[in-house]
């Protein structure tokens, strides 16, 4: 199964991606993580990506698609994978489709987590992660079971993203609506778009997504 998770910043994509990985047995693929791994491994495409990153430039779509192509050929992706944070634009979506088509693969579902913009600022400003295992938390909506202790690994060290502030969030939301929102009609036309209500409890969002994906099996 091949799944894309869409939604504006703060919609909870990272949290839900981790849960889908466990519930559905899919491999969560983050383009940021894959880029860093390719650079560290010093692969051919990693060398190209490193040049852009060191120059302070955005890595080209062609390089990102190649990194995804290389990654999905690894054994752990045989059962399927979940793309979190990619594609972001219609151009990237079409390039991804072309690559998958060349591999005789196709998207099974594009899950959009629908949320209200006004709720996102509070969500983003309040979120933080475990420094050790990157498990996500929120100051109001998703606290550790034991205050100050990560549920997953027991670490007591946490971090917040420096760009999780109102000004930056507003800018990212604007970028999402301008660039990424046009993906929705594109995938709806393909018949793969599935919409879930992201305004409910995190566990309820997980149930919705799991129900959608389980119906495809």
Residue that is written with structure tokens 């036309």 in the block: 189
Options 13, 48, 50, 194, the catalytic residue: 13
Options 22, 47, 103, 160, the catalytic residue: 160
Cβ-contact 121, 166 below 8 angstroms? yes
Strands 193-197 and 158-159, by their bridges, are unpaired
127 part of the active site = yes
Strands 127-130 and 158-159, by their bridges, are antiparallel
| H helix runs in 72-196, sequence order | 90-102, 117-125, 166-175, 183-190
172 part of the active site = yes
For residue 187 the two structure tokens come to 């995938």
Options 127, 145, 159, 194, the catalytic residue: 127
145 part of the active site = no
Give how far the C-alpha of residue 174 lies from the chain's centroid of Cα atoms, to the nearest Å: 18
Of 191, 214, 181, 201, give the one whose Cα is nearest residue 20: 214
19 part of the active site = no
Q: Which residues contact 120 (CB under 8 A, 6 or more apart)?
A: 8, 9, 10, 11, 169, 173
- Distance between CA atoms of residues 213 and 217, nearest Å: 7
160 part of the active site = yes
Cβ-contact 24, 213 below 8 angstroms? yes
Active site residues: 13, 88, 127, 160, 172
């Amino acid at each position: 199964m091949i799944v894309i998770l869409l939604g504006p910043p703060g919609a909870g994509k990272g949290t839900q991606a981790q849960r889908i990985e466990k519930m559905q047995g899919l491999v969560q693929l983050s383009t940021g993580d894959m880029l860093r791994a390719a650079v560290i491994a010093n692969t051919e495409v990693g060398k190209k990506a490193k040049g852009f990153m060191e120059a302070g430039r955005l890595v080209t779509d062609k390089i990102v698609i190649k990194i995804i192509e290389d990654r999905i050929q690894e054994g752990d992706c045989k059962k399927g994978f979940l793309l979190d944070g990619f594609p972001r634009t219609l151009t990237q979506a079409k390039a991804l489709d072309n690559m998958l088509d060349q591999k005789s693969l196709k998207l099974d579902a594009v899950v959009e987590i629908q949320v209200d913009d006004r709720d996102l600022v509070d969500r983003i400003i309040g979120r933080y992660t475990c420094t050790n295992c990157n498990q996500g938390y929120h100051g109001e909506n998703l606290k550790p079971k034991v205050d100050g202790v990560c549920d997953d690994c027991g670490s007591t060290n946490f971090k917040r993203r420096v760009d999780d502030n109102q000004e930056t969030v507003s800018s990212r939301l604007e970028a999402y609506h301008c660039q990424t929102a046009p993906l929705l009609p594109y995938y709806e036309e393909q018949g793969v778009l599935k919409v879930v209500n992201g305004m409910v409890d995190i566990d309820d969002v997980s149930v919705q997504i799991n129900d959608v994906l389980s119906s495809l099996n």
